[in-house]
Structure 1
């Protein structure tokens, strides 16, 4: 599964969509080390964008991929798209938004000589990591504040892990991760159709006046709809939802 959010034209996003997963599977480290293969594929794709004379060098794209082998899922992200796991109603963020103002990204950018103007890297891009954008990166091999290196997150899926939401920043600009997870779970319990869930998230983001591109993918890990979360019986009325109760339990368990 993959999500790309292009800027400066469609060239980089279209090229990356066609090639990046193929490069992962062709890498010498695949499948023994999917992390090395994925990281290598991001860099190779970025360099291929620089070498392709037919492509616009000012075109760039964020890249978010999810690769599942057996019960292991690897999330790779470069840019401000986001992957969120639905875990019995709780939202677990599996990627970090690479915004220039993010502390770790800002420190990396400034260390490499870059600057941030009004939230934009070198006054030009609203993301700190992307593939392409060779009009900013300069020449291959040179250190550049705009990185194509993905951040990786690997997890082993369990029975509590119900679905994955992947979306570009047009969704997350107007909706929290927990809101999206709660909405998808409710939709799945009604019709168990992940495609309709994706459409519902896009529709909701538009109603919330999202002003950016909207790409959303929902992937279910089971053919069955999520089960209802049982609330312990009590004589006292509760004002917290089942999803909220499960979220609270998860937070307490992590303390």
Structure 2
């Protein structure tokens, strides 16, 4: 499907060093063509001694008479090549799937799988690392499709109640553990550490990670929601936020902040105040 861009918002911005957390928050905002739906983002580099591994997308495109809002968080590990690749290619692959508008969930599933195969085939260029993903596609401001692999999360505020739309794919979850074991892998939980696939990776699903791929799924969980009068805003964020802030806490913190850029920054600032040391990326999409 051929698509054209309506508006483009800065993506994957790297922060420069500062006295706070060795990074400065990068923030920005945007809106759709009708100005009815607005979004903002905030990204902060963590304290680890490697380049920023969180990348994101926040933009609108048109397809015929349809307007598409595209939002995503990609949280990389063992390098930033895979999340950078996802930033540039995943939505294109989804939108170019035959029948996307008729069956978007199937198109998303196929594109996730296709994109993972491409990443694995390009290991020599992209490296052996991987990335989680949480993606949101807003169709004509009415249908919201959330897909994810890994532990980056989507939380919707509906009449003030936080509703988690994604699934945290953690190796400790019984269904994920069984899936890993059925693939010939194992889950190891060393004292003082978190459960890891084959003792290495702390998420049960991810793009890339060729060395673990036999035991690691890239199948997304997909959920569709209708945007109705009770639908207030959507939060997409990496686990740098969710490790220290609960879903309802996040909703309560920003529900009264009308500016989505300020809301996203409020959430990353809160994660920093709670001593989150990971990269932190957050997008807030306000529907009304």
| Cα offset, 1:109, TM superposition | 1.2
Residue ranges of structure 2 left out of the alignment (5+ in a row): 1-70, 190-194
**In the alignment, does 2:239 pair up with 1:169?**
yes
Query: Distance in 1 between the 2:242 and 2:123 partners?
Result: 34
Q: Which runs of 5+ in 1 are unaligned?
A: 138-143, 223-255
1:198 and 2:264 matched? yes
Contact kept? 2:123, 2:210, Cα under 8 Å: no
1:63-212 maps to which residues of 2 (within 5 A)?
63-70=133-140, 71-118=142-189, 119-137=195-213, 144-186=214-256, 188=257, 192-212=258-278
Which of 60, 64, 67 in structure 1 is aligned with 2:130? 60
Structure 1 or 2, whichever has the larger Rg, is 1
Q: Helix, strand or coil for the counterpart of 1:66?
A: strand
Per the TM alignment, residue 215 of structure 1 is displaced from its structure 2 partner at its CA by 0.7
Return the offset for 1:68.
1.1
> In the alignment, what sits opposite 2:120?
50
- C-alpha distance in structure 2 between counterparts of 1:57 and 1:40, whole Å: 23
Cα drift, residue 55 of structure 1: 2.2
Instruction: Tell me by how many angstroms 1:103 deviates.
Output: 1.8
SS in 2 for 1:124: coil
Q: 2:268 & 2:103 partners in 1: Cα distance?
A: 35
- Report the Cα distance in structure 2 between the residues aligned to 1:24 and 1:133, rounded to whole angstroms: 21
Aligned to 1:2: 72
| 1:19 and 2:95 are equivalent in the alignment | no
Q: Is the 8 A contact 1:57 1:135 kept in 2?
A: no
Q: How many residues align?
A: 212
Distance 1:210 1:201 in 2: 12
Q: Which residue of 2 aligns with 1:141?
A: none
Task: Please report how far the alpha carbon of residue 145 of structure 1 lies from its aligned counterpart in structure 2 after TM superposition.
Answer: 2.3
Q: Tell me which residue corresponds to 2:279.
A: 213
Q: In structure 1, the residue corresponding to 2:253 is in which secondary structure?
A: helix
Q: Aligned partners of 1:6 and 1:164: how far apart in 2?
A: 22
Structure 1 Cα separation of the partners of residues 278 and 125 of structure 2: 24
Structure 1 length as normaliser, TM-score? 0.81
TM-score by length of 2: 0.72
Q: Distance in 2 between matches of 1:85 and 1:56?
A: 33
Deviation of 1:112 (Å): 1.7
RMSD of aligned Cα (Å): 1.1
Q: Which of the two has greater strand per residue?
A: 2
Match of 2:21 in 1: none
- The alpha-carbon deviation at position 59 of structure 1 amounts to 1.4
Q: Distance in 1 between matches of 2:233 and 2:204?
A: 28
> What does the per-residue CA deviation read over 1:141-192, in whole Å, with 9 as the maximum and x for residues that have no partner?
xxx2211110001111110000000011111100100000011103x2xxx1
The answer to whether the 8 A contact 1:30-1:37 is kept is yes
Report runs of 4+ in structure 1 exceeding 6 Å deviation.
none
